[in-house]
Amino acid sequence: MKMLSSVVAYGCRYCAPLKHRFLYFTPRRPHHCSPPPLASTTVSPSCNLHNPNLFTGNSVFRGMERFWTGSGIKKSKAMVEHLQHYGVIRSKKVSEVMEAIDRALFVPEGTPPYVDSPMQIGYNATISAPHMHATCLQLLEENLKPGMHALDVGSGTGYLTACFALMVGPEGRAVGVEHIPELVASSIENIRKSAAAPLLKEGSLSVHVGDGRLGWPECAPYDAIHVGAAAPEIPPALIEQLKPGGRMVIPVGNMFQYLKVVDKNPDGSVSVRDETSVRYVPLTSQEAQLRGY
């Protein structure tokens, strides 16, 4: 989540490392999913969805609440099935894409790729939890149809950018922007091993070094924009680069953060709504990110 800092996002507040959780308080409000029991799933013992204090800014910090621990999950297909069970994935297209783009190629070696938790990827950055990726793909699905243009701000290891590329196809354009050059280089190598490799080779998928707060004007306007770090306010450059009829998902706020859905109407006006409370790292400069914010 990052010159930018978008990659560093933890995604959901309940998945954030404890040292970050203690810094923030979120109003009592349901998480984006309250899953039913799953007999074949190992559910984190710290996740008591009936605890009235779970979603407050106090008691929630006792443990790392997740939809599942990931124990025993060895393939993308099983991860997707869990996300479907919990109601995070609701469409065939999103399930197909998250199954096709193997998360294992986009996390550090030796890291359990299918655990519903963010993973450290170096440079004070993380790859977000699977349920946050699925949530954003669902919100953007109608703006990721074949031939459309998509921008991933803070592309990190390249996972979500690769998902975008498969959804918009060879006639579309998927662009990742990340301000850590080393992450850009490694993300390109990750994509080359994935199902999105042909799109990278032919140029409909690209990843660039840059300050994501400024977007990537060269390929604008965009039908879909995803931002992986929390901005104090929605960056004007990203609104400008959003196509009429386009949609952006972006976490906004400081102490209190919400994942916002930003729709640009045909007349150019903008509508904004809150989707869910979240906890992301700040959208900041490269220097601040490398300092640890």
Domain ranges of the chain: 6-291
What DSSP string runs through 60-104? GGGS---S---TT--SHHHHHHHHHHTTS--SHHHHHHHHHS-GG
171-183: average pLDDT: 97
Percentage of the chain lying above the pLDDT 90 cut? 63
122-149: average pLDDT: 95
Q: Which residues of 226-241 are buried (b: 16+ CB within 10 A; e: fewer)?
A: bbbbbbeebbebbbeb
Tell me: pLDDT of 282 over 70. Answer: yes
Q: Which residues are catalytic?
A: 128
Of 10-14, 112-116, 189-193, 209-213, the least confident:
10-14
∠106-78-72 over CA atoms, to 5°? 90
Q: Enter the pTM of the model.
A: 0.80
Tell me: pLDDT of 64 over 50. Answer: no
| pLDDT, tens digit (0-9, with 9 covering 90-100), for 213-262 | 999 999 999 999 999 988 999 999 999 999 999 999 999 998 889 999 99
For the record, the structure tokens of 211 come out as 């300050």
Let me know if 83 is exposed, middle or buried by CB neighbors in 10 A (0-12, 13-18, 19+).
buried
The rounded distance, in Å, linking the Cα atoms of 145 and 47 is: 36
Q: Which CATH architecture has domain 6-291?
A: 3-Layer(aba) Sandwich (3.40)
Instruction: Answer whether 129's CB lies under 8 Å from 66's CB.
Output: yes
The residue with greater pLDDT, 20 or 2, is: 20
Three-class SS of residue 251? strand
Residue-level pLDDT at 68 = 56
Mean pLDDT over the full length of the chain: 81
Percentage of the chain lying above the pLDDT 70 cut? 75
